[in-house]
Each structure stands twice: as C-alpha cells, then as structure tokens.
Structure 1
C-alpha cells in the first residue's frame, strides 16, 4: 500500500488527451490503466510509453499519477546550497565545476565561513551540502562541518554528501561506509543528496566518468544509508549520450531499490548542462526531452514520494511547466549554487518563498512549505 488514500477509478481518470491517444493505440490504453492505478510497469511497457506517447499524452498521464499522490499540493523549502570545495580528484567529462589541486580558480571554504553564511540566511529550514573530492581535506573536516552546523542550527535539516563523497570519506578514513554514515548521523546528518548516480550504465561510466564509483557501489552506499534510517535522494543525469533504453533501465532499477528499502525521498532528473565542459559539442536536452523524462520518471517511479523540478538546472520557467508534467517538488530558495554558476558563467537567480508560491499558484497548485 502506498501513501495515498484516494480511491482509484480508471474510467474517471480518462481525459480528452488520453482518449485521443487511446483511439490510435490500444496498447497504450492498457499500460495507462496500470499507471493510473499506480501499479509498476515493466521495461517494455515503459519504453513503449516513452517512445510512442507524445509529449502531451505523457504529461497528462504523469500529472494524473502525481495528483493521485499529492492532489494539487506542490512542495518547496527555504534552503541554501553550500558547495564547500570545487577541487576534485576525478575528471568527469560532463563537469565544468571541478578544478585540479593547485589549479587556478580552486577553492575550499572554511567551516567558520560556512557558518557565517548560513547565519545570514533568514528562516532557513534546510542546508544542502555537496562538493568535490579534495585530496587536501581531512576526514575530520566533514564530520566537524556537520557537527558545527547542527550545534548552531539545532532544528535545521542537514542534507549532505552524495554517495560519491561517502565513498571518498570511507577511502581517506579507512572506515567502512557504515561507520562513516554512523559518525555523520551522530554528528547531525539528516539525509543524503542524490548526486553521483548519473546513469546506471557501465558503457556511459567508461566513456564519461571512468574514475567515479560504479553504479553498484552507488547503490550499495544508498542501501547502507537506508538501513541506518538515513533517507537519500536519487538522480539521473540525462541529455548527453544516453539511450532511451538506458533512461528506462535506470528508473526501473531505482524503483526496485525503493521497493526493497523504502529509503528514497525524492527523485531529481538532472538535465545535462553542455557549457563549460569537455562535452560542450553536445547540444544538451531540449525542453521537449526534459518534460518527457520528468513525465516518464513520475510514471515509472510509482513508489517514490517526490519528483523534483530542479529549477537551478532547468531554469525557473521550464521548471514551472514541469510541475504540470508530473513533478511535485520545486526544490527551494537555494540562494546560490556554484556548480551551475561556474558552468554557465552566470549567477543562479535567487528565488524568494513568495515567488515560489506565486509560481505554484499560477498553475493552480497549493504551495506547501517543507
């Protein structure tokens, strides 16, 4: 049983857009019935929907699935991103944020500097912390950062360190992943961001980020976190060299893990940014592809509480549209985000809570502060 109470009725869920597609393709009608009953669909059915369902059909189907779970509610928080260092020991081709040790433009933030920044943010509810794998940073820095934030902000939600960073902490400390996570949780960690999953494809890992942990290692760390009651997010980086099949395989694998652990909180589809990296010859995903990926994510991930319209990567206007294509979470105020800023060469637009509320109400939604 999922977390919804509304009675499911396929006949009442039909709409003009769905009906017009069903007239042309009876196979899609059978698949859609399972989607609208929030039942899992298999690889072949998901791929068929993604390829044969047009943009508006997928959007309508995903929106109805979203409303089964959340009604007209759309979520956001008052948060701030902290990217504590851009120095990184691995060279992912899609990343224009990282610097090598000693390279011009590299930086590392002092913990006191981070605390000062957080204290300047009014009504803060969450801090989101990710960074590079800096060979010069000791293990104690990571633990102390969490502990000192928790001490200064007893009520704040601390979402910090991707599975890639947790693996790095295990390596530099000589501790197991479980031991690292236990220490972080004891220091005050609440949850883990979803970055570093990229695409669960060894072909793509070998081509674009061979030094990064494998999909199997990412999954192992996420499952370990879930076993310790540390929720995590999950991501998909799309719009580069991945195939349709690899997108669907990635989503179904996440659904299978969630069925086992119940530990994922939110899925974040990340649109590849072509600027400022060695893949800049690629065009990046179109708005059409972005909306289709968000829709198929909601459709496949029937056991994920939230699908995020990550406006930092999508842009505010497209992220607002994505809320009508199955997403229910608009992320938050962010304040600053250095990863996209350095790649795009332009600052992230700060969103106020009032502006987020306006954007949600404009599409007929009810803003809910987390």
Structure 2
C-alpha cells in the first residue's frame, strides 16, 4: 500500500487541486458529491485506478469473486416503453417469447446435476402476470431444486406486478420471500434523475418507487443489488446524484450487496445514433464508483455486457466481482450488441482473475465464500 501511496502523490504534482480528495480516500473519509465530480472531471485514469485500488483493498483485499449461475428470462413481452431497450417485444411480434412455469421446471431440471448455486430471473413487464403468478414461479423452483438461491424480479417488475394485483410492496415482497425468493437484482434503476428518466423510460417505475421497493426488501431481511445505466444521455452530475441516492439508502439499511454499472449498448433501439462509451470511460466509471460508494461492499463488472477482456481490466479499477458462469442463458444485452452467447467456465474466470494479479474465489449469491483457488 505504501508503494501505491507514493505513486499517487507523484501523480498529484500535476493537479494539486485533487490533493484534499486523495487525502480523504487515504484516511477513509467520505467523499462529497463535489469530490466525486472532481474525480470524474479532473483525475487522470491512472490516478483513478490507484485510488480505486486503495479502496478495493481496504474493503475486499485482493479477492475477486464469481459464482455459478444461470438466467431464466420468462418473457420479453413488455408493457413499458423504454427507448433504450433492444429486448422488448409485443404480443405476436416476431422475436417475442413467453415461457411459463412448466418451461421453468424443465430449465431447472437441466441444472440438477450441475454445481450451480443461483438462478437469476428477470425479463419483460408482462401485462397479465401478477404477484400470485410469480409466487407460484418461485415455489416451482424451490420444489425442483430447494438448495438453489432465487435472485429474481427487478423493482420495475415488482412495481408492475403489485399494480396488476392491487397489492402494496411489503405484502408482495413478503409473499415472494415466503415462497423462496432469496434476493432481488438491481435492474431498472437506470438513472435516477427525473428529467433524464422521463426521456428514456417515461412509464417505468419512478426513482422513488425503485428506492422504496429496495428499502422494503431490506426491511424484510432480503439483500438486493443496485445498478446504474451510463453512457446514454446523462452527465457526470447525474451519475453522482444516482450513486449518492444509493449511498444514502445504504446508510439506512445496509441491504445492498453490490453495485453494477451497466454500459448502454446502442444496437436495435431508438438511441442507435449515440456513440457507446469508450473502454477508458468504462474504467473511469468503475473507479469513481468504487471510490464514491464507500458503504456498498462489492463492485461488479458484468462481463456479458462489456466482454471478458474489459472485465479483466476492471479488476485494476476497483472491481472485485465478475458475476458468474451465465451458461448462455441471457439475451438482454446480446440483443443490444453485447457479447453473443455469453458463457464462461469456472476455469476461464479463475484464469482471468489470476492474470489480473488478484485472488479468485467462488461465492454464493450473498457473497459467502465457497472455495478459494
């Protein structure tokens, strides 16, 4: 750590205005929103990487984790109208699919003899499926594989199923939890800024609703994840505002496991004219996220979205988790131009981590370590 400190202060000679922020990082003090903006706007990428490494080591040491997981996407039929989405289809539209509980049981059965620990379920906001349907879906999973952790249903899906069923968030989440729901993924957060949200997802759950649903889940004893869509039409102020809202909720509940920056992918949607963020910007965003979010323990690089090479690079910019094996079971990002047929073996993930100079470990969904390599 002393060597990293020396390297950091050598770089500060060209930008002394960052010294107070760097001092805060070294002393474990919380950054203000203004500090976060200064890092985004003024810090060079090498400096950000070193600062993120300081925070990463303080929280997670050199450990970098992954899990053995697969996705089930019940449908891409969706009643929402997000202009950045490449996934949505309407009833009877080419490329639309609906898979029910029977199909889910068949999918789960394929994994009975495999060493998976998690099923991740998310998809379109189907207009005809309410809370009882999804309660039955969770029950079916636990009947087929009782030991499987069910991480399912974004806050956007939960808000919609509650509206369909006429239930409040607490009742719905309690029913889902009692059926076997273990945790909630972080999707649907997008960018919390209300003006941006109105432009990109005007009829989706609001920022306040997203935060309330996660707050309620935390109160019921469920851990959740958090995301941020970046590289679309937001600016650095919007990103810091988004992370600050997450940080404040985490102060209250401690219920977020991990933060996952999600890179906008532009193919097959209304924002195809927007240039995607560069790898340099991706790494900058990971680093600032790690430095600013001092109370969310993990930072994940979702490799199916950014590719394995960039995910490996991100391990030097604050990231300590690579998600999982996936087993070519998700289409959400591949339909927008990301990694096609996403699949990774445990050997691949272990190798990626070791080559980056980190210490690989397999985890479960709640970040309990199952095996170190």
Give CA-to-partner distance per residue, 1:226-247, whole Å, 9 cap, x none: 1111111000000010011101
Give CA-to-partner distance per residue, 1:100-147, whole Å, 9 cap, x none: 223222111122222222332311101110011111334332111111
CA distance in 2, matches of 1:221, 1:135: 19
Gaps of 5+ in 2: 364-373
Give CA-to-partner distance per residue, 1:37-93, whole Å, 9 cap, x none: 332100111111111101111011101210111111001000001111000001101
Report the counterpart of residue 285 of structure 1 in structure 2: 277
Contact 1:340 1:348 in 2 (8 A): no
CA distance in 2, matches of 1:30, 1:358: 38
Between the two proteins, the alignment pairs up a number of residues equal to 360
Give CA-to-partner distance per residue, 1:125-173, whole Å, 9 cap, x none: 0111001111133433211111111122122111000111110111011
CA distance in 1, matches of 2:299, 2:15: 27
Tell me if 1:258 matches 2:250. Answer: yes
Return 160-169 or 104-113, whichever deviates more: 104-113
Picking from 155, 164, 172, the partner of 1:163 is 155
CA distance in 2, matches of 1:102, 1:215: 31
* Displacement of 1:94: 0.6
Give CA-to-partner distance per residue, 1:154-210, whole Å, 9 cap, x none: 221110001111101110111110000000000000100000000011111111110
* Aligned residues: CA RMSD: 1.4
- In structure 2, do the counterparts of structure 1 residues 99 and 292 end up closer, same or farther at CA, with 3 Å as the change threshold? same
TM-score by length of 1: 0.94
Give CA-to-partner distance per residue, 1:298-357, whole Å, 9 cap, x none: 001010110001101111110110111000001000112111122228633310011100
Contact 1:13 1:36 in 2 (8 A): no
Picking from 3, 6, 26, the partner of 1:15 is 6
CA distance in 1, matches of 2:188, 2:28: 28
CA distance in 2, matches of 1:369, 1:206: 39
Gaps of 5+ in 1: 1-8
Report the counterpart of residue 114 of structure 1 in structure 2: 104
Picking from 17, 21, 26, the partner of 1:36 is 26
Give CA-to-partner distance per residue, 1:259-311, whole Å, 9 cap, x none: 11111111000000001111001111111111111100000101011000110
Report the counterpart of residue 51 of structure 2 in structure 1: 61
Report the counterpart of residue 77 of structure 1 in structure 2: 67
Report the counterpart of residue 5 of structure 1 in structure 2: none
Report the counterpart of residue 176 of structure 1 in structure 2: 168
Consecutive aligned runs of 4 or more in structure 1 exceeding 6 Å deviation: none
Tell me if 1:190 matches 2:182. Answer: yes
